[in-house]
A and B are shown apart, each in its own frame.
Chain A
Amino acid sequence: MFDREDIKFWFSECKYLLNLKRIKITGCFLSKEVRVDKISFFIAGRRIGDAQLSILRLDVYRKFPEYNEKNSGWLLEKDFDLQDSIDEIEVHLYLEGESHPLKGKKAIVRDSHYRVPDAESDKPVTMTIDGVQYGKGPIIPFGSGVTKSKPFACLVICRPFLPDKDTDNDEFHYYFVDGKALDKVSIASIVKNYSHTIIEKMIYESDVSFFDSLETICIPGDNFIQPNKNELSQPRLTFLVSSDTHAAFMTQIASHFKEVQYIIPKLSCKDDAAAEALGKRNIKFIELDYNARECKELKNFAPDFIFCGADWTSEFFAISRIAKKLSIPTITLQEGPQDWHMTLIQPIKNKRVLRILNHYRNADIFLSQGAVTLNHIRPKYFAVTGNPKIGKIVENPFPREPLVLINCNFTYIAAKPPYENNREMWLRDVISACEEVKIKYFISQHPRDDGKLEYPNVIESSASVINEQLLKSSIIISRFSSIPYEALARGREAIYYNPHREPMLTYTGDVYGAVKLASNKSELVNYLSQHKKHMFFDKEKAARYLSRHCGPMDGQAINRIIHLFQRFPNHSFNHGQFIERFKSHSFLFNENVDSLDRKLNIAVFSRNTASDYSGGRYCSLMLAEALSYAGHKVFYITQNLPIFYSNFGTIASHQNIEICLTIDFENNLPVYPIDVIFLVPGLDKSKNFYLNAIAYARKNRSHLVLLNFESPNWFNELSPVQRDYKLWESWALASKYCSLILSNAGEGRKYAEEYYREVPAGARFDHAYPSINTFVADKGLSKEINKEKRIIIFARFSLSAHKGSFNIPDIMCEAMRGYTFVIMVGLGTIPNDIDKEIHDKAKQLGIQIEYKFKLSDYEKFMEIRKARLLLFPSFFEGYGYPPIEALYLNAPCIAFDLPVLRETCKDNLIFVPRGDWSAFKAEINQVLKYNKTIETNKEIRKVAKFEEYAKKLNTIVTTLVERNLPKELPGFEYKKNFEQKDWLKKIDDKKEMESGDFIKVAARFLRNHFPYQRYEQMKNIYINYKIIKSSARRTILKFISVFTRKRKV
């Protein structure tokens, strides 16, 4: 930052699109007295142009309100051909005729990802992100490996090769496989994250039916890989050995190659026993300083590539810097699960520096331990090799009695708050769960966990003893670590315990996997009780899980790595042939997304359960995806990862969304300044969710948008079941501070305008049709499928009297004889009597019944694709996804005549009067009798298409931030909603309350009304002092009187 008394000047971002040869630099300045005439830019002495001034920057306005300047931004966007990969950008700032050159700012231009000035510069530079200063010091480049220029991600599956400039510059991702031994589990999983997959001919032909059945748009290609003439030539390898663990497996790999070199971090920089381990093996090594700019030994050795472990360490950046100059690719091997979005503010040289670690996306080629990792990151070049530490499952006999290994690994407290500092709370929970279940335990403390544990049975752990400890135990409990994998591989059950909501998507995203997920003590107690009753290891389930997470369980991980290394230098990719082959597929190359002038930071507040699907929650994630797709930085704030999260993996920007897990919507919120907050409400009575969202909006001075699914006046007008207006109280409360009430359809908006009467002056009402998951639907459409004698209905039996599901037996009719009736069950279980009636009637009418639960989007779309007819007998819908999905997939759909469906689907549905079951059955008869088919995909695109939704939302948010914040927002007073009277009444009503009752009531009360840590604190008081012995009521009052206070925002 150029900061003198009369002016502040920032760079915000600098990016270069290689394929377009266009440079874009943005920033801002603030000055009360001095006038800025011009900002000119020079690169390597060549003038590239002047910046456009007066660009809207509300983030800066909010950070420095005293300047009262909303348009402090500047922007330079020019076509410019950068000849070299590193250039110095010089800026001339003209202040009232004077020129002030700002030298020394550098931007790395390596690919199409934008960069802030980074560790390459000679001197530390001021770090700013969107105008907010975080301090001075090196910063790791930000970028997820995804370009914003393509709406979908395209994968190429081929034999391995070393990257070159041509492949570096295209927009494809390359997945290296061994054509002779396909890892089908990984392939099937990974391609789900890509819209289109091009498969090299020889690989495709090895199993055509397998590739055609994949969940992707499958495009067979030619043989693009050309073996070099001398295919048997041995590669030259350099190993970057950071620790003794690295030394162990790297030397094992190296033994298969003749020409190898070892580099370790200079011992004065870091000593993780790499030198000692190599020394023991009599291996020579080179030490590399963190600040090294060159390495003669490396240059002279001229390896084909450099192999390393973690690619976000200082030693990696040192070697990478040198390797780039020498055009040597780097290859990284995944050593364990990671928090893929980890950003942290780290103290470096007494400054707070924002670090974005970008795990495993800094090296050129990534060797993933399993397919699941590729759900979270999308590297440019990768292969799935497995993890040498977790090669296969070996079942070991259980100890005589249950014994819990508690893996305590809170290792980076100073460096990585906030999740690392929950040790006490985490351990207390786990130990008290063990004690409650009366199961023996020991705590295995990680060597780098420096906590002083005042608990019994603490033993030190290390790489050499962990195996023994695992075998001694019968079950393990761990937080984020690779120990759960290792436990499964040794025949032990594993529980991932995450009460503090660390965003470990690798574990939390696999809801029904072999590693059990617990997010509170009662779940933990439940698992431990089951284990105590019956020590059991489900080997098949563990094998399936590990093969997803850690590659094929065949013990061949090292061999796969060796095989890849042998192939890399001996193969080359014929890019010319590749382009020629696919140039007719213009969509693979076109840039379809409008570039944005300004990227907004947007938070979406949404509650999710750990295991249930709901249309509203699905809509909230769709909203987040669309905003991310439009180029904004989106934070999805929730208590649980939605179970349908992985359905959106195909969208190119999916992995850019940052999931923030929070138990109370008060802690673990993003540290970034947020421009817009979308509040996704639900029909619950927990006001604190809403209050926290409003408070967060107030704190950030951000616009609050209430997503209005349905207002009560609308619902009650149409639904046969009435809902209490009180269920919407919190929605109405939030609306008082909103800048926008966003409905899903015009019909909903109409009622919203009637219902929300206390919105701030200037607040607007708008609507945007939520899209369906068209990227996945398009995959379904790409498959050649004949319609089958199948009829689909979506059913819901919980809170759903208006959904028409209870009438399923009533619509089964003679016309359906010989058909399969597919009942897709969402929320709730099928009541026994309805289930019985359905089956009785099916038997009588000759109909096959198939229930489907919790299908993925792809499975759902494939079902619709196959079906002749979709039934949608709902009496009320706030939007109604299924008819739109049916029309998009060209399936006829019969529905009750609802105004909102008329609006979205026009006359493309087969409408019958609301509630007229006879007419409904008559239409079923008609469609089936005449075997009606439809082609409605084009008609519904405007409503269904994801891109349309993103476009509309983008217009909404960019327009929104140009407006002033509602005056009411700063006046919002954050007072916790205790609903004290109601609760006390409940307690009073329980005349003969046992202490157990009290715990239940009080726990629910306290959990609903206090942040998690405060709740824990109170629970501790209860446990330690037994203060509720006499009266539950008095205790509650005491809790409240002690902890109630008006919170300062």
Chain B
Amino acid sequence: MKKVLFLSIVPPFPNDQGNRIVTLNVMNYFVNNGYFIDAIFQCRYDKKLFENHFKNKVKVNEIRNTHFAETFDFETRNKIKELVKIGQFNGYNEGIKKEIFYAANHFHPFAFINTEMVEIAQKLLSGNQYELIICNYIYCLRVVKELKNMIGQTKSMVITIDAISRLDEQAYKFGIETSYRACSREMERECLEYADYVVAISKSEREYFKNIGVTRDILLSEYNAHDNLKDISIHRENFYHKEILFAASGNPLNKKGINDFLTRCWPSVVSRIPGAKLIIIGTVSQTVPGNYKNVIIKGIVSYDELVRQMASATISINPVYVGTGLKIKTVEAISMGLPSVSLPAGIDGLEELKDQAFLLAEDWPDFADKCVELLTDYDRWNRMRLNSREIGERRFSGPAVFKEFDRILEAL
């Protein structure tokens, strides 16, 4: 019986966020390739959905999460960050202020992992033979480090999801709360070096890891959205719906993105195309401000409903101007053939698809212009619809995305 050990701080279910979907897809890949999985989740998860989906292929050990925010260290660091924000260090140059802030914002990635995870892993390792140790997120590499002797020759792989040393900018520039997640480049490199394989989920992050000095084998595995969405397609008639879709979780970056879109872009769009509608789906809906004209807030919906909404939209948007990891929303739109408009951060790693599968906006006025263009120019929209569909099939299907995983498995 082929087995892998899967360590994670995010669950695959409920699959309502990008990182959860990626987690689910990776687990699916191994199960579909005949592997049984012993999993340790340092998080809660939807047991019912999980069991219905994986049956007996996955055994889960659930451990309690670390209440990081309640620690003295965390509180002290927050106070320092607050001092920077309120101008306590005014007079220092920008570089020094940043350094102070970054230092306070950094945590060692392994500090977040509960010792219980190491202990359970130790037990599992002593009683099982695993072909691969998979760490979902860099933080879980603590187990690999501490149990190096037990692991021996067994290979380990880290699914990075995010390049966490890029989070500082979000926190400093946009005031996004990064909690325990950020660390320095040196720390990130040092931690990633504990793995045999480093999986980057976008081209740009693969480049980033190389640039910070990671010497391990860096694989690229994007999001296989096409597998889930191949049966859904955008019809020509959608053009006349004039529906703009934004589906996202309620993370701070999404919240800021949609708030800024509403205050700075939507007035322009809805004034120029009075029939245009904006549909907002997901937990991000909970913080959408005001009563904007023609904005329909759907809130949290099932995945099926989300897909239905996407299938009837005219375009989708990704108004996030800072972020890390793969742009799930953009990839899903491409896979369905749904033209979209995005800011540069929303297409990170997908740049070469610009103007084929999406329009790239430089700023908010340009974002509005691009939305108006796609909502009013049928030929442009239709061309993009057809291109996207083709790109989705070629690039975001399972075989394409897990091509390098296949190589690893063959080598095991």
Contact = CB atoms under 8 A, between A and B. Distances in A.
B271 A810 contact: no
A921 B266 CA distance: 18
A806 interface: yes
Interface stretch (A211-219, A283-291, A718-726, A1039-1047): A718-726
Interface string A702-733: 00000000000000100111111000000000
Given A915-B269, A917-B365, A918-B365, A807 B291 contact: no
Most chain A CB inside 10 Å of its own CB: which residue of B263, B267, B364: B267
Interface string B259-294: 000111011111110000000000000000011110
B272 A720 contact: no
Contacts of B368: 915, 917
A913 B273 CA distance: 11
B363 interface: yes
Contacts of A810: 264, 363-365
Most chain B CB inside 10 Å of its own CB: which residue of A720, A807, A917: A720
Contacts of A913: 272
B174 A720 contact: no
Interface in B203-245: none
A714 to B, nearest CB: 13
A804 interface: yes
Given A806-B263, A913-B272, A721 B365 contact: no
A613 interface: no
A720 B271 contact: yes
A471 interface: no
Nearest to B173: A836
Most chain A CB inside 10 Å of its own CB: which residue of B174, B175, B264, B290: B264
A916 B268 CA distance: 6
B293 A716 contact: yes
A914 B272 contact: yes
A721 B292 contact: yes
Given A721-B291, A721-B293, A807-B364, A801 B271 contact: no
Interface residues of B, number: 22
Interface in A885-935: 896, 913-918, 921
Interface in A237-275: none
B263 to A, nearest CB: 4
Contacts of A480: none
Interface in A802-844: 802, 804, 806-807, 810-811, 832-833
B369 interface: yes
Interface in B344-385: 363-366, 368-369
A833 to B, nearest CB: 7
Contacts of A914: 271-272
B222 to A, nearest CB: 31
A485 interface: no
Nearest to A803: B267
B266 A720 contact: yes
Contacts of B269: 915
Nearest to B273: A915
Contacts of B293: 716, 719-722
Contacts of A719: 293
A802 B267 contact: yes
Interface in A458-476: none
Given A720-B270, A875-B271, A914-B272, A921 B365 contact: yes
A723 B291 contact: yes
Contacts of B263: 801, 806
A922 to B, nearest CB: 11
Contact of B264 (A806, A875, A896, A921): A806
A720 B292 contact: yes
B196 to A, nearest CB: 42
Nearest to B174: A833
Contacts of A918: 365-366, 369
B264 A807 contact: yes
A915 B271 contact: yes
Contacts of B264: 806-807, 810
Contacts of B270: 720, 915
Contact of A915 (B268, B290, B292, B366): B268
A807 B293 CA distance: 18
Contacts of B267: 720-721, 801-802, 804, 875, 915
A921 B262 CA distance: 20
Given A804-B267, A915-B268, A917-B365, A724 B291 contact: yes
Contact of B272 (A722, A723, A833, A915): A915
A810 B365 CA distance: 7
A298 to B, nearest CB: 70
A724 B290 CA distance: 10
A916 B272 contact: yes
Nearest to B289: A801
A914 B292 CA distance: 16
Contacts of A723: 291
A721 B290 contact: yes
Contacts of A916: 268, 272
A182 to B, nearest CB: 42
A723 B363 CA distance: 28
Contacts of A896: 271
A908 to B, nearest CB: 22
Contacts of A875: 267, 271
A841 to B, nearest CB: 10
A138 B239 CA distance: 83
Contact of A722 (B174, B291, B364, B366): B291
A915 B262 CA distance: 13
B364 A801 contact: no
A807 B264 CA distance: 6
A722 B365 contact: no
Most chain B CB inside 10 Å of its own CB: which residue of A719, A721, A918: A721
Nearest to A800: B263
Contacts of B174: 833
A957 B271 CA distance: 38
Contacts of B290: 721, 801
Contacts of A832: 175
A801 B292 contact: yes
Contacts of A802: 267
Contacts of B291: 721-724
Interface in A291-326: none
Interface string A749-774: 00000000000000000000000000
B268 A917 contact: yes
A495 to B, nearest CB: 30
B92 to A, nearest CB: 17
A914 B273 CA distance: 10
Nearest to B271: A915
A917 B369 CA distance: 8
Nearest to B274: A717
Nearest to A813: B365
A1041 B359 CA distance: 64
A896 B268 CA distance: 11
Contacts of A915: 267-272, 368
A833 B263 CA distance: 13
B320 to A, nearest CB: 14
28 contacts: A720-B267, A720-B270, A720-B271, A720-B293, A721-B291, A722-B293, A724-B291, A801-B292, A802-B267, A806-B263, A807-B264, A807-B365, A810-B363, A810-B364, A833-B175, A875-B271, A896-B271, A913-B272, A914-B271, A915-B267, A915-B272, A915-B368, A916-B268, A916-B272, A917-B365, A918-B366, A918-B369, A921-B365
Interface of B: 174-175, 262-264, 266-272, 290-293, 363-366, 368-369
Given A720-B293, A721-B290, A807-B364, 7 more contacts: A801-B290, A801-B292, A806-B264, A810-B264, A833-B174, A875-B271, A917-B369
Q: Which 9 A-B pairs have the closest CB atoms?
A: A917-B365, A915-B271, A720-B267, A915-B268, A722-B291, A914-B271, A806-B263, A810-B365, A915-B272
Interface of A: 716, 719-724, 801-802, 804, 806-807, 810-811, 832-833, 875, 896, 913-918, 921
